[in-house]
């Protein structure tokens, strides 16, 4: 009797396995029929370009006869650097300042003066002259100590920009709003600023006044 | 009833069912192969009605007088499953006919790609098979970092917070560099139907609404006309100022990143179009009596 039961159990197990295999094959046959029924094909291609951005400038200032002369040079390796636009503005709390240079222009209603040419890598921009006006001179002028007199010039550079047609956008119309992460380095001192606004983003170099 | 139950559970019936299933599987296989054999036999009879499907991706840039073939995959006649296929680079002035590339066809006089400038990029499709077909094009846009990693946008939760994944921990993260900055302007939306359900910031799917006959192409109604990289790519900047304040080094966060555009064209037979498109592409469409398709909701 036990032998008969054992044989029956084995048969039931075999039957279950065979029926499962049959079901799987039926499903597969249905799927294969669908997949092979239609002609189809495809083709693809891809491509792209690497963007090269970055630049480095060196700023030097000379002060003489109440005039500050600013030279800005693109110092980076031309292979790694891109042409830039430059703009600058001066801050002098007590006296009027004027900008003198043919290649720099100040649009009406704008506090910035813009270099009208592109500054290519390795080249120097025409110097910007900032004249401090109507500074009294003499013993009663109130300016006894040259070191106490400061004029701050703020500079900004931005990579040249193009319109949709590929033409250069004039520097005064370029987008100068960028999110800057600024680091001051050297002599172990560091400071970090982050800003998205023009003035906060500007790098500045202070210049000290001198005697007339 | 008892006899019926006994009959069903008998070994003979079980084995018979198994054999039946095996035969069904074999028959379905033979059916598929037979279709290919029939087509080949027509060539032997000299009727030249072999059904060969083929498709070619074409590109036309500012320097091109006519569209260039950049990729194709055509079924070879007299073969069951052999294909003539080749793919060249997109945006590089590559031509399958001459096997040459000429970047100036795309860049014009520019020595490098200029963000902000709109470059001509007309993509079209040609039917290079001998049967009528429907086509669709899928465009993928993505960035590759300087280490060659393909980058992905971070997902955000319901509150807009970025979900950091394992891959981000390895430094693969766009952090604001979106595929949306790669702007391919779509045109001829009356014939190229945008599948809004399937399209995302990284992917565009468009369907040509008519049957494309053998030898015909869509170059008169290309699916795109201009490619622009948004100037915003240069918005993230790190400046380093020397201690004396005289030297300012500006490094753009995405300097050395590469944008990529990938176009995949799919073609399917026009016979039994609704079912064929559903089966091969998984998309429900409506087909009118003139063979024009519209995307079903």
| CATH number where A146 lies | 2.60.40
Q: What is the dihedral of CA B268, B182, B172, A178, to 10 degrees?
A: -170
Q: Which pLDDT value is given to residue A200? A: 34
- With bands split at pLDDT 50, 70 and 90, how would you rate the model's confidence at B80? confident
The answer to whether residue B2 scores a pLDDT higher than 80 is no
| pLDDT confidence band for B157 (50 / 70 / 90) | low
Q: How many CB atoms lie within 10 A of CB A78?
A: 12
Distance from CA of B37 to the nearest CA of A (A): 13
Give chain A's domain count. 1
- The answer to whether residues B193 and B230 belong to one domain is yes
Residues B232 and B165 in one domain: yes
Stretch B201-228: mean pLDDT: 96
Residues B29 and B100 in one domain: no
Residue B222's pLDDT is what?
Answer: 98
Asked if the structure places residue A128 within a domain, the reply is yes
Residues B12 and B112 in one domain: no
Domains contained in chain B, number: 2
Chain B residues touching residue A41 (CB < 8 angstroms)? 53-55, 73-75, 83, 129, 266-267
List the single best residue of B49, B69, B248 to mutate versus A (max A Cβ within 10 A).
Answer: B248
A73 CA to chain B: closest CA distance, Å?
Answer: 9
Beta strand B258-269 with A203-208: parallel, antiparallel or unpaired?
Answer: unpaired
Q: Which of A40, A169, A185 sits opposite B268 (nearest CB)?
A: A40
Nearest CA in chain A to B21: A22
A-B CB pairs within 8 A amount to: 255
Region B180-191 average pLDDT: 95
Q: What is the ipTM of this complex?
A: 0.78
Say if A15 is an interface residue toward chain B (CB within 8 Å). Answer: yes
Q: Is B49 part of any domain?
A: no
Q: Is the domain of B166 the same as that of B268?
A: yes
Chain A hits for B140, Cβ within 8 Å: 46
A82 lies in a domain? yes
One domain for residues B25 and B164: no
Query: What's the rounded Cα separation, in Å, for the pair A87 and A79?
Result: 23
Q: Which range has the top average pLDDT, A36-40, A75-79, B160-164, B236-240?
A: B236-240
Q: Which residue of A has its CA nearest to B131?
A: A39
∠ CA A176-A73-B229 to the nearest 5 degrees? 35
Separation between Cα atoms, residue A41 and residue A38, nearest integer Å: 10
Spatial neighbors of A5 by CB under 8 A, at least 6 apart, are none
- Opening angle at CA A103, ends A99 and A105, nearest 5: 50
Inform me whether the pLDDT recorded for B29 exceeds 90: no
What are residue A8's phi and psi, to 5 degrees? Answer: -65, -40
Do B23 and B139 belong together in one domain? no
Residues B192 and B217 reside in one and the same domain: yes
More confidently predicted of B213 and B9: B213
Name A8's Cβ contacts closer than 8 Å, sequence gap at least 6.
Answer: none
Q: Is A59 close to B248, i.e. CB distance below 8 A?
A: yes
Q: Residue B237: its chain A contacts at CB < 8 A?
A: 178-181
Q: Report the residue of A47, A163, A202 to disrupt the B interface, i.e. the one with the largest count of B CBs within 10 Å.
A: A47
Q: What string of pLDDT tens digits covers the 212 residues of chain A?
A: 677 888 888 888 888 888 888 888 777 766 554 445 699 999 999 999 999 888 889 999 888 888 889 999 998 777 777 889 999 998 888 788 899 888 999 999 998 999 999 999 889 999 999 988 877 665 545 454 454 567 788 888 888 999 888 889 999 999 887 665 566 554 333 333 333 333 333 333 333 333 32
Q: pTM value? A: 0.72
Residue B1's pLDDT band (cuts 50, 70, 90):
low
Tell me if A120 is assigned to some domain: yes
- Residue bearing the bigger pLDDT, A1 or B85: B85
B182 and B242 assigned to the same domain: yes
B22 and B58 together in one domain: no
Query: Would the CB atoms of B24 and A26 count as touching at under 8 Å?
Result: yes
Q: Which of B15, B53, B255 lies at the smallest CB-CB distance from A41?
A: B53
A133 part of a folded domain: yes
Give the range of the structural domain holding residue A204, as residue numbers without chain letter: 57-208
Cα B231 from Cα B181, distance rounded (Å): 8
- Sorted by sequence, the CB contacts under 8 Å of residue B260 that are 6+ apart come out as A46, A47, A48, B140, B141, B142, B143, B144, B150, B182
Phi-psi region of B93 (alpha: psi -120 to 50; beta: other; left: phi over 0): left
Which of B18, B94, B255 faces A54 most closely, judged by CB atoms?
A: B255
Q: Which residues of A touch B241 (CB under 8 A)?
A: 182-185, 203
Among all residues of chain A, which has the CA nearest to that of B242? A185
Instruction: Give Cβ neighbours of residue A56 (< 8 Å, ≥ 6 apart).
Output: A74, A75, A76, A81, B247, B248, B249, B250
Q: Is residue B109 part of a domain?
A: yes
How far apart are the C-alpha atoms of B294 and B193, rounded to whole Å? 8
Mean per-residue pLDDT over chain B, rounded: 86
* B252 and A CB contact within 8 Å: yes
Residue B77 lies in a domain: yes
Residues from chain A that touch B225, judged by Cβ atoms under 8 A, are none
In a mutagenesis test of the A interface, which of B30, B94, B239 is the best target, namely the one with the most A β-carbons within 10 Å? B239
Supply the pLDDT for residue A25: 78
Would you call A39 and B269 a contact, using CB atoms and an 8 Å cutoff? yes
Residue A35 belongs to some domain of the structure: no
Say if A104 falls within a structural domain: yes
Bridge partner residues of B217 (DSSP): B126
Query: Are B163 and B28 found together in one domain?
Result: no
Q: Is residue A22 part of a domain?
A: no
Crossing angle between the packed helical segments B11-44 and A2-35, to the nearest 10 degrees: 20
- Assigned domain for B152 exists: yes
Q: Find residue A62's DSSP bridge partners.
A: A69
> Whole-angstrom Cα distance, residue A50 to residue B21?
57
Contacts of B246 in chain A (CB under 8 A): 58-60, 205
**Shortest Cα distance from A102 to chain B (angstroms)?**
24
The domain in which residue B27 lies consists of: 2-44
The span from the CA of A187 to the CA of B82, in Å, is 69
* pLDDT value at residue A202: 35
Report the share of chain B in percent with pLDDT over 90: 57
What tokens does B217 get? Answer: 């192409």
The alpha-carbon gap from B293 to the nearest alpha carbon of chain A, in Å, equals 17
Residue A13 lies in a domain: no
First to last CA, chain B: 51
B116 and B18 fall within a common domain: no
Q: Is B23 on the interface with A (CB under 8 A)?
A: no
Lowest mean pLDDT among B20-29, B139-148, B224-233, B261-270: B20-29
User: Any CB–CB contact under 8 A between B279 and chain A?
Assistant: yes
């Amino acid at each position: 009797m036990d032998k008969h039961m054992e044989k029956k159990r084995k048969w039931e197990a075999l039957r279950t396995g065979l029926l499962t295999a049959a079901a799987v094959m039926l499903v597969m046959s249905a799927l294969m029929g669908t997949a092979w029924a239609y002609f189809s094909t495809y083709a693809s291609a891809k491509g792209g370009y690497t963007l090269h951005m970055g630049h480095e400038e060196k700023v030097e200032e000379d002060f003489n006869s109440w005039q500050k002369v600013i030279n800005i040079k693109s110092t980076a390796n031309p292979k790694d650097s891109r042409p830039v636009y430059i703009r600058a503005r001066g801050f002098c709390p007590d006296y009027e300042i004027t900008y003198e240079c043919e290649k720099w222009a100040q649009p009406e209603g704008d506090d910035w003066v813009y270099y009208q040419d592109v500054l290519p890598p390795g080249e120097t921009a025409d110097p910007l002259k900032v004249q401090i006006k109507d500074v009294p001179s003499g013993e009663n002028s109130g300016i006894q100590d040259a070191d106490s007199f400061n004029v701050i010039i703020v500079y900004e550079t931005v990579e040249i920009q193009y319109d949709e047609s590929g033409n250069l956008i004039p520097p005064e119309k370029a987008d100068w709003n960028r999110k800057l992460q600024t680091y001051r380095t050297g002599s172990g001192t560091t400071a970090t600023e982050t800003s998205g606004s023009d003035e906060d983003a500007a790098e500045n170099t202070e210049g000290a006044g001198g005697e007339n | 009833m008892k006899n019926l139950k006994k009959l069903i559970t008998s070994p003979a019936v079980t084995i018979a069912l198994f054999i039946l299933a095996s035969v069904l599987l074999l028959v379905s296989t033979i059916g598929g192969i037979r279709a290919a054999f029939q087509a080949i036999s027509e060539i032997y009879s000299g009727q030249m009605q072999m059904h060969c499907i083929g498709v070619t991706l074409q590109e036309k840039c500012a320097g091109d007088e006519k569209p260039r073939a950049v990729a194709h995959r055509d079924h070879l006649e007299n073969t069951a499953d052999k294909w003539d296929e080749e793919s060249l680079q997109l945006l590089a002035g590559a031509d399958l006919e001459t096997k040459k590339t000429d970047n100036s066809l795309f860049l014009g006089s520019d020595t490098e790609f200029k963000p902000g400038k709109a470059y001509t990029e007309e993509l079209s499709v040609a039917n290079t098979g001998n049967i009528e077909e429907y086509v669709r094009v899928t465009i993928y846009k993505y960035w590759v970092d300087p280490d060659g990693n393909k980058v992905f946008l971070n997902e955000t939760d319901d509150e807009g917070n970025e979900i950091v994944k394992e891959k981000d921990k390895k430094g693969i993260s766009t952090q604001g560099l979106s595929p949306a900055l790669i702007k391919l302007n779509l045109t001829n939306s009356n014939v190229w139907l945008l599948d809004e359900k399937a399209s995302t910031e990284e992917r565009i799917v468009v369907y040509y609404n008519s049957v494309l006959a053998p030898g015909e192409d869509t170059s008169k109604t290309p699916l795109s006309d201009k490619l622009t990289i948004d100037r915003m790519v240069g918005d993230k900047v790190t400046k380093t100022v020397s201690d004396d304040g005289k030297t300012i080094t500006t490094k753009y966060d995405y300097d050395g990143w590469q944008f990529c555009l990938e176009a995949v064209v799919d073609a399917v037979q026009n016979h039994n179009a609704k079912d064929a498109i559903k089966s091969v592409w998984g998309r429900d469409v409506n087909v009118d009596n003139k063979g024009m398709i519209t995307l079903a909701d």
